[in-house]
Amino acid sequence: GCVLVVSVIEQLAQWHNSTVKAAMERLCTYIPGKYQIICHKEMNADVVCHSLKLCKQDPGQPLCHLYTPPKKKIHVYANAILSHQSSGKIFTGFSAVCAFPLLDNLCEKIKYVIRNKLPFEDFDGDKFSTFPTLRGYHWRGRDCNDKNITVYPGRRPVNWDVESDSNCNGIWGVDPKDGIPYEEKFCKGADSQGVVLLGDSAGAHFHIPPEWMTVSQMSVKSFANLPMAFTDELDWPQFSEITGFLNSTIGGWTDSLYLRLRRRNRCNHRDLQNISQNGGSSGNLLYLIKSLARNQLLDNPAIVIYATIGNDVCNGNRDTLAHMTTPQEMFSNVVQALRYLDSRLPNGSHVILTGLVDGRFLWDNLHDRYHPLGQLNRDVTYSQLYSFLDCLQVSPCSGWLTPNETLRNLTSERALQLSNILKEIARSEKFAHFDVFYMDFPLRQTAEEWSKMGGEPWQLIEPVDGFHPSQIAAALGTSVTWQKVLHEWPQVLGKENPFNDQIEAIFKDQGGH
């Protein structure tokens, strides 16, 4: 964090030929000689952060640095600065915010949201909210009555919604021309069903805006979305491949399985749940899945996408291979999850198991390109970023984000083994309330489609973290997935609702509500 902030500050001064920088240079001419070291031109972000003791080198551990080290070793600068400070505990003044009596309840509530992945604001306890972030309607269909636990997206209508909208799809009331309820007229027998994603940070659509650290693009407007981004855990599920429903504001365009199902059947409006988390794997999904909101007796069926595409082989450990999920563990975890779904999903639901990605695509297409932090001075490549994160033992994937080709191949080999387990489960396991299908993660087909459009493979990867699928990849992945399901398992999508145009026309006549 420190290296990131200091890097951006230094580059902003350089980009804008800052008067602040000029003033600092003048100030340095007045500083006594023994303190002159803090003005040294070789004081890059690594040196500054080690000097402030926000970065440190543990005994027996390598010295972690993002930039090429200066001629004089980092710790020499750091020790020289710290020797003139009265106390090495520079930042001990920061106390735990949650220790304040007025904030402790709020902090506990936020911890509950993060731990259980349930909406922060949910007055009736139905797991749906009228608030967008903090696991609100960016993640699940928007509640239309947060004071009534029997009203929520995805349920079958109560008395054909004659008097009110019990399932929040916007269709209720009676047609004055013939006295037939609109919900009965337009949605009866329409194969209404929801979309549920059980996934990881790729499914939640993790994204750090590159303009936050690319000084040539930076402005006050660059940070307008910062509060929303942090209260959504740096995820953007509202633009994601499976449950996206808003026009993208982070580049590319939005296309999702939910939007396509909604176009196919307007009665599916708002019936979506993105139950994903950063770091999601087949193991921790067993806990996460309990936040699913589906009543087996009262609700519509659902299409469930099970997609933990990398974290079963990705970790930041030095001995990364030893910490990967084994085929036996994968089988056990997924079957347990499916058995839980069988106790929750209404009859007629469908589950699609998605295979793991081949992450060699990341190194092959990014390692020698410049990261947003390095574009101004051409001094930070993705290879350097990956090595920095790996040294800190916070790499999102030590097995793929590495110059070690053998390790990259072994990681992909394990990913293929786990995908084959998913394929076998889909072939052999049977459940009472849903059928199970398997599909490979469509990276190759997505890259081919993007190439036909004149794009480059690296554009399919998030530029800041160099790891997750980009907005373009998410939108194109939707198209590839839809075509496969439509041609191979058309029963999953249900029939097209012939009344869609009439529904939209009535909405427009009534002011678009």
Distance from C-alpha of 513 to C-alpha of 404, rounded to nearest angstrom: 56
Q: Grade residue 265 by pLDDT with cuts at 50, 70 and 90.
A: very high
Q: Is the pLDDT of residue 288 over 50?
A: yes
How many CB atoms lie under 10 A from the CB of residue 490? 10
Whether 384 contacts 295, CB under 8 Å: no
Whether 275 contacts 117, CB under 8 Å: yes
Comparing CA positions, the residue from 384, 395, 367 lying closest to residue 68 is 384
Residue 389: exposed, middle, or buried by beta-carbon count in 10 A (0-12, 13-18, 19+)? buried
What does the pLDDT read at residue 91?
A: 42
Distances (CA, A) of 57 to 50, 245, 279, 383: 8, 45, 26, 21
What does the pLDDT read at residue 511?
A: 64
Please name the amino acid found at residue 143: D
Distance from C-alpha of 82 to C-alpha of 57, rounded to nearest angstrom: 15
Q: Grade residue 115 by pLDDT with cuts at 50, 70 and 90.
A: confident
Query: Lowest-pLDDT range, 30-44, 92-106, 240-254?
Result: 30-44
Q: What values do phi and psi take at 113, rounded to 5? A: -60, -45
Q: Grade residue 24 by pLDDT with cuts at 50, 70 and 90.
A: low
**Non-local CB neighbours of 263 within 8 Å, separated by 6+ positions:** 500
User: Which long-range contacts does 77-80 make (Cβ < 8 Å, 24+ apart)?
Assistant: 77/37, 77/40, 77/42, 77/43, 77/47, 77/50, 77/51, 78/47, 78/50, 78/51, 78/53, 80/37
Share of the chain above pLDDT 70, in %: 88
What does the pLDDT read at residue 21?
A: 60
HEC states along 77-137? HHHHHHCCCCCCCCCCCCCCHHHCCCCHHHHHHHHHHHHHCCCCCCCCCCCCCCCCCCCCC
Q: Is the pLDDT of residue 66 over 60?
A: yes
In the chain the domains, ranked by start, together with CATH numbers, are 1-92 (no CATH), 160-190+498-512 (no CATH), 194-496 (3.40.50.1110)
Q: Is the pLDDT of residue 434 over 50?
A: yes
Provide the token pair at 84. 């003139």
Q: Grade residue 22 by pLDDT with cuts at 50, 70 and 90.
A: low
Q: Grade residue 88 by pLDDT with cuts at 50, 70 and 90.
A: very low
Q: Grade residue 226 by pLDDT with cuts at 50, 70 and 90.
A: very high
Whether 472 contacts 455, CB under 8 Å: yes
DSSP label at residue 216: G
Q: Grade residue 25 by pLDDT with cuts at 50, 70 and 90.
A: low
What does the pLDDT read at residue 231?
A: 93
Question: pLDDT tens digits, residue range 327-363?
Answer: 999 999 999 999 999 999 999 999 999 999 999 999 9
**What is the number of residues in the chain?**
513
Choosing from 129, 166, 201, 470, which is the catalytic residue? 201
**Non-local CB neighbours of 212 within 8 Å, separated by 6+ positions:** 8, 218, 222, 223, 226, 464
Q: C-alpha dihedral over 447, 281, 304, 337, to 10 degrees? A: 150
What does the pLDDT read at residue 353?
A: 98
Distances (CA, A) of 333 to 54, 337, 340, 389: 39, 6, 11, 29
Residue with tokens 């007025």: 102
Mean pLDDT of 35-42: 53
* Coil, helix or strand at residue 59: coil
Q: Is the pLDDT of residue 213 over 50?
A: yes
What does the pLDDT read at residue 39?
A: 58
Q: Is the pLDDT of residue 512 over 80?
A: no
Mean pLDDT of 50-79: 79
Mean pLDDT of 248-255: 96
* Coil, helix or strand at residue 353: strand
What does the pLDDT read at residue 292?
A: 98
Distance from C-alpha of 14 to C-alpha of 454, rounded to nearest angstrom: 34
Helices (H) and strands (E) in the chain, counts: 17, 5
Q: Is the pLDDT of residue 87 over 50?
A: no
Comparing CA positions, the residue from 88, 72, 81 lying closest to residue 34 is 81
What does the pLDDT read at residue 14?
A: 85
Query: Lowest-pLDDT range, 1-10, 31-40, 60-69, 288-297?
Result: 31-40
Mean pLDDT of 180-195: 97
Mean pLDDT of 53-58: 86
Active-site residue, 470 included: no
pTM: 0.91
Comparing CA positions, the residue from 261, 271, 222, 290 lying closest to residue 496 is 261
Question: pLDDT tens digits, residue range 164-183?
Answer: 999 999 999 999 999 999 99
Q: Which residue has the higher pLDDT, 69 or 136?
A: 136
Q: Is the pLDDT of residue 85 over 50?
A: no
Query: Lowest-pLDDT range, 37-46, 422-431, 471-480?
Result: 37-46
Q: Is the pLDDT of residue 280 over 70?
A: yes
HEC states along 122-177? CCCCCCCCCCCCCCCCCCECCCCCCCCCCCCCCECCHHHHCCCCCCCCCCCCECCC
What does the pLDDT read at residue 212?
A: 93
Distance from C-alpha of 190 to C-alpha of 262, rounded to nearest angstrom: 12
Distance from C-alpha of 43 to C-alpha of 37, rounded to nearest angstrom: 9
Beta bridge partners of 206: 235
DSSP letters for 233-280: TTB-GGG-TTT--S--SSSS----HHHHHHHH-GGGTT-EEEEE-TT-
Mean pLDDT of 117-131: 97
